[in-house]
Chain A
Amino acid sequence: MAPLDKKADDDKFMDNPFVIPPLECGASLDTDTFKAYPEHNEALGFPGELLDNWKEVAIAKMGELAKRNRAFQVYLDTCVKCGACTDKCQYFLGTADPKNMPVARQDLLRSVYRRYYTFAGKYFPWLVGARDLTKEVLDEWYTYYHQCSQCRRCSVACPYGIDTAEISMAAREILDSVGVGQKYCNEIIAKLKKTGNNLGLNPKALAATLEDLEEDLEDETGVAVKIPLDVKGADILLITPSADFFAEPHIDGLLGYAKVFHSAGVSWTLSSYASEAANFGMFIGSYENMREVSWRIRQAAKDLGVKRIIFGECGHAWRVAYSFLNTLAGPFDFLDQNYPIPQHILEFTLDEIESGRLKIDKSRNDEFVMTYHDSCNVARGSAMGDKEGGQFDVPRAVIKAVCNNFHDMERDTIRENTFCCGGGGGLLTDDLMDLRIKGAKPRMTALKQVSDNHGVNKMAAICAICKTQFAKVMPKYGFEMDTIMSVHQLVANAVILDGQESDEAEEPTAEETP
């Protein structure tokens, strides 16, 4: 049980995850993400380039959103500037830029809203900090609304529940509507509309990839575990982030789902038409795009004639699935109503574990001392199981069922107060690497604490974005990149399949590791 490998010097970290930096105005002003090309904007139904009359369009859009969306309207009106949220954002803690304080981030837009839509702002702008919409303001929006991962950590802190994520989504929608899109998000949505997934992977390539993975599984276990694609009449449609097909440690999670389904003896399939759980429509605040992306899942489920839909490990995808799918692509009256629609893979796995159908050898994970990172969208935008807070307890129950060593991180950095990994909300792009590293600082500090105090050497997560972000950012903090694991990777390690040829299968012993 070696503690984490810490090559880096300690001043990369904070003294504790909550240390508030002195304000440094403009510290993060030059951190800009690439803008989308015209073809990406147009594929999403937005103008390709900045409109000539962008100002009028933006102001009109703002009014339209306030009329259409109660959250946006109420949150713009009710902030009392109490300051309770000011120290809650990981990007503020990491960059020290005051415009990354949640209320200041909201104010970038609120100040303009007040100018054009409120009595006080129209007649006494200086009194209430109202300002005209100018090109500089638009640029500032682009910069700072792309330094918010829409994680909602600030909303938990606010006495009025003001959710900066909603403001941030609206701001991005306004930007898109005048022709200023972000390359990363818009390019990905455009790709998905063409191919069914964020990677732009066509069905043939996907099939070949899955075959390779099946071979790996058979080599490892000696059992023919299948990863079916486009099987009509299967019971379960698995919707999983496309990173599960390619990236590490995501793939190990996918192998875990396959083993669980195999053991459970259910028939399941992936779909090449809806080969993506992620839905970046949420990040850009576009109801229409989010709906279109979600709709593919309905189409695939109907086309394949499945009875259930299960989602793989992905944070914002689970928020869209759990909270929005029924709204956007329902009603799902053609599915089996005896199961939650949709269900999370962890809910499925926990059922299998608790019913004793899954054979587990916990000792196979004995080299790991685990901790768990609650992904922001799962923690604050969704739920699992049928008890309040299930989204915290179900993953932990699964980890503890397959692992002997587990320690939680500092209480105010987990569960409903979890920090974002630093790469959520459409920020998982190399052009924002500096911001991603800084935004991960509180989490990395909390991890270092449990590593120092409890010898924790691995952190599990159930979000494709978290996993990619941590694999990239952890080395900057001196952790090995494989310190981040999929929860189903742990499950995969510990599950013993029927007919699996290995010593451990017959006589599980603590010394041996697979």
Chain B
Amino acid sequence: MISTVYAVLFYVATVLLIVGTGMKVLKYARTPILLKIPVSPAPRTKRGVVLRMLREVLFFESLFKSNKWIWIFAYLFHYGMALVLLRHLRYFTDPVWWWVALIQPFGILAGFAMFAGLGGLMARRIFQPRIRYISNPSDYLMLALLMLIVFSGYSMKFLAHTDIIALKAYMLGLMRFQIGDLPTTLPLLVHLASVATLMIIFPISKLMHAPGLFFAPSRTMVDNARDKRFVSKWARNLPPLPEGIPTSEEG
């Protein structure tokens, strides 16, 4: 019973995540940019823009320059999570890829980094008056959900041991559309349910910042307005204005 519920949950979550995010990304891509609006100093070439975006993604460059505390916590959280996610590939691959096997111990440590980062962000949200002022319930809940995911994940390792072999068999089965038996320890059920929740809300929440980053005209546009005429799809349909000066205009 529970195995089936979770299977359905994961299929639904995966579809919503992929389709929802895909639709949003398509919407962004199809929405015209009206004018050349990079925030300068901006690169004069496409290559420069790629480098600018790489620095943003790899180092969170702008955040580093603007707020060191948020940067530390955000960096710990995001890159901790990246490692943790890569580590989890071992539940979906058989045989496990060599480099996934290699990073297993780091993945465990990265979970702590992730938790520390989340804790820091949560503390700032609660105790820093400016950030508290701009926070909505969803902002706290999002952090709480992520913390719950990490916490329940560690519980399986350190509190109530879960049968990983059985879990892996279940996951590999799901990937082949076969529903096997899910081990039903509480931490695992909480862990999986909270991950599915995160996947479902991804496309309809601020989590869209991840793909959104690549659509921000302020960072992704090339600064070449004088060299190359830029006209948006939308502006091409505007009625033309008169050439030449109307004579009645003067005075």
Contacts and interface: CB of A to CB of B under 8 A. Distances in A.
A78 B208 contact: yes
B244 interface: yes
Contact of A83 (B56, B65, B70): B70
B42 A70 contact: no
B63 interface: yes
Contacts of B63: 82, 84, 157, 159
Interface string A113-144: 00000111000001111000000000000000
A166 interface: yes
Contacts of B204: 118-120
Task: Assign chain B's interface to a size class.
Answer: 35 or more
A87 B74 CA distance: 18
A69 B218 CA distance: 13
Given A70-B31, A83-B128, A326 B133 contact: no
B130 A98 contact: yes
B218 A127 contact: no
Contact of A160 (B31, B37, B48, B213): B213
Contacts of B27: 73
A69 B34 contact: yes
Contacts of B32: 68-70
A119 B208 CA distance: 14
B206 A383 contact: no
Given A161-B216, A300-B245, A327-B36, A74 B28 contact: yes
Interface string A421-449: 00000000000000000000000000000
B205 interface: yes
A47 interface: no
Contacts of A126: 137
B244 A81 contact: no
B30 to A, nearest CB: 9
Interface in B201-251: 204-206, 208-209, 212-213, 215-219, 223, 225-226, 229-232, 234-235, 238, 241-245, 249-251
A204 B35 CA distance: 36
A77 B48 CA distance: 26
B41 interface: yes
Interface string B155-194: 0000000000000000000000000000000000000000
Contacts of A299: 242-245
A265 interface: no
Contacts of A158: 62, 66
A396 to B, nearest CB: 14
A73 B213 contact: no
Contacts of A86: 130-131, 134
A120 B134 contact: no
B39 interface: yes
A382 B40 contact: yes
B134 A81 contact: yes
A330 B28 contact: no
Nearest to A304: B245
Nearest to B211: A78
Contacts of A84: 62-63, 66-67, 70
A456 B167 CA distance: 71
B209 A67 contact: no
B93 interface: no
A156 B37 contact: no
B16 to A, nearest CB: 11
Contacts of B46: none
B124 interface: yes
Contacts of A203: 250-251
Closest 3 A/B residue pairs (Cβ): A78-B212, A157-B66, A161-B218
Given A70-B217, A162-B218, 16 more contacts: A22-B129, A71-B34, A71-B37, A73-B31, A81-B139, A83-B130, A128-B136, A128-B137, A155-B218, A157-B67, A287-B235, A322-B226, A323-B36, A379-B40, A383-B223, A388-B43
Interface of A: 20, 22-23, 66-71, 73-75, 77-88, 98, 101, 103-104, 107, 118-120, 126-129, 152, 155-163, 166, 196, 202-204, 272-273, 287-288, 291-292, 295, 298-300, 302-303, 322-324, 326-327, 330-331, 340-342, 379-383, 386, 388-389, 391-392, 416
10 contacts: A69-B33, A77-B209, A81-B136, A98-B133, A156-B65, A196-B249, A287-B35, A288-B238, A322-B226, A327-B230
